[in-house]
Every structure is written in C-alpha cells, then in structure tokens.
Amino acid sequence: MTGNLRTFVLMAAMTALVMAMGYLIGGQGGAVLALIFAGAGNLWAWWNSDKAVLRQQGAMLVTRQQAPELVDMVADLAQRANLPMPKVYILATEQPNAFATGRNPENAAVAVTQGIMGVLDRDELAGVIAHELAHIQHRDTLIMTVTATMAGAIAMLGNMMMFSSMFGGRDDNRGGGLGAILAMIFAPMAAGLVQMAISRTREYEADRIGAEICGKPMSLASALAKISRAAGQTVNIPAERNPASASMFIINPLHALRMDRLFATHPATEDRIARLQAMSGSGGTGFGASRIPTTGRSEAGPWNNR
C-alpha cells in the first residue's frame, strides 16, 4: 500500500470514528457536526500536525551555532540519504529518545532528547538519526503525525461523551451509560489506531535503511538496547500527556507501568536488535561508516561526555 493510500485509509477510518462518536453525543445532528469537524481536522492535521506535535513535546529548534556537532551530523547523514536538510530540534527531557516529523522530506524535522545525548556515543546517535531519516525518506512521518493528531481529537470527543453522560445531556443523546462505556473504549482505540498506522514492518524497515545510511548496524542495535533500558526508568512528561504520539518515537516513550503498553506501538526491541545483528553479520551495506568519526573522547560531542 502506497503512503498516500495508507494516509487516506487511516484518515477515513478516523473520520468514521469521529462521526460515530458525534452520533452518540447528539444524534444525526451530532454526526453531521462531527463530519464537519473531522473534515476540518483532517485538513488542519495534513498541514500543521508536525508543528503541533513538536509544540506538544516542547521541542526547541537549534541551529548550527547552538549545536554544531549535532546539526553537522544530521546534515552529513541527510546528504548520504539524498534528503534535504531537515530542521533539528532538542526535547527538554532526560528520557533518551528521538522522533521525526513532517508532511514530506522538504518539510521534515528530526528531534532528539537531551537525555539521548548523555546516554549514547557518537556512532549510536548517528544510527538513531539515520533511523529517523529513513522514516522521512519513506514518508512515514506524514502518517505518524496526522494520525497522532486525529487520535488526540478522538480521545477528546471520548472525554466529552463521558462528561455528557455523567451530567445528563440532551434528550436525543445516544450516550447515557452506554455512551460512557463506549467513550472509555474509543479513547484507547485511538491510541491503537496510531500504533497500527505505522506497522511493525515499517519500524523494521527504518532500522534496516537507517543501518545502511550510517553504515554501522551494530551501533544502531546498541542504541536501541540502551534507549529501551533507560526509557522505562525515566518519565517523559510531554509524551505521557500526549500518549497518541508514542508511535512516533524510536522507542515507546510511555512509562513501563502504564497500561498503554498493552497497545504496543513498536516491535520487540530484542527482535529489532536480532535483525540488525544478522545484517551486521552479512557485512552490512550502505554509504560506508568512514565519515562518521569513531567513538572516543578525542572526538566527543555533547552526547559523549561520560
């Protein structure tokens, strides 16, 4: 399924959910209003969802003057991947993680957390950035950002349904007790739709292509292991407030104790590492790693001070 077709199917499914919830809230009139809301929301999300996600996560745009080594690394890897230079953002959270966003390669952004630069060495960080560039290359970022935005809207309607059921509501309200139950079901379903938006095969593919871009599959494998261990020990407050965006990160940012983990947004880290190990065993492919400096204090960046 092509990227455009996948986007259309996902947006159509979410529109149908919004209409169903509108009907439960206000009957046929509610369904019509929900359809208008969904149409406007889809259009807005198509053009602005990337900005909304960056704003939700508290992302700060950085320039080469502010973070020269990080920006130069992104520029080098983007050149290898034959991509336009994306904007670079830093998230003010200690949880090591990263994501990419943007409706197309010409309007893309790569965001890394402050924590990831304190946990990973230079080659590992290059592997993570290359993974995110692979998502940009295959336009996965459009689907991730649009569905994350729409899922948040659906969750908001679910809360409205519960509020309406608790405090009465209109005579033609299709909610009542049933509406409250459905609201509690539809809200986690929104997060489930997001995790289905980017299939597990796309994460595997981004790992494979990212390893080719950076030229070192085992560096990406090592990064995944470190991030996975640390992510469950550190709470990412912006991500917890906006759980629908979880599928965008390279590793699920939601805390290990959350029930949301039942809706796994990513393949098992062990499986991803095993595939990268197999790729490394075959010699690896790609642009070559010689241009990424080897790990060592003599070439340490801000992510490598230990």
**276 or 31: which leads in pLDDT:** 276
User: Averaged over 277-299, what is the pLDDT?
Assistant: 50
pLDDT band at 155 (very low <50, low <70, confident <90, very high): low
Catalytic machinery residues: 132
**pLDDT tens profile 59-72:** 999 999 999 999 99
Average pLDDT value for the chain: 77
Report the share of the chain in percent with pLDDT over 70. 65
Strand (E) positions, 70-187? 87-91, 98-101, 109-113
What pTM, to 2 d.p., does this model score? 0.75
**282 or 178: which leads in pLDDT:** 178
Question: What does DSSP say about strands 87-91 and 59-62: parallel, antiparallel, or unpaired?
Answer: antiparallel
Strand order in the sheet with 98-101: 59-62, 87-91, 109-113, 98-101
Helices (H) and strands (E) in the chain, counts: 10, 4
pLDDT of residue 82: 96
**pLDDT tens profile 91-132:** 999 999 999 998 889 999 999 999 999 999 999 999 999 999
Q: Which residues are annotated as a binding site for Zn(2+)?
A: 131, 135, 203
In Å, how far are 155, 231, 255 from 235, measured between CA atoms? Answer: 21, 7, 6
The residue ranges of every structural domain in the chain are 3-299
pLDDT of residue 77: 97
pLDDT of residue 138: 87
CA distance 112 to 61: 11
User: Averaged over 79-101, what is the pLDDT?
Assistant: 95
**pLDDT tens profile 227-265:** 999 887 888 999 888 877 788 899 988 875 444 444 566
173, 179 contact by CB (below 8 A)? yes
CA distance 129 to 100: 9
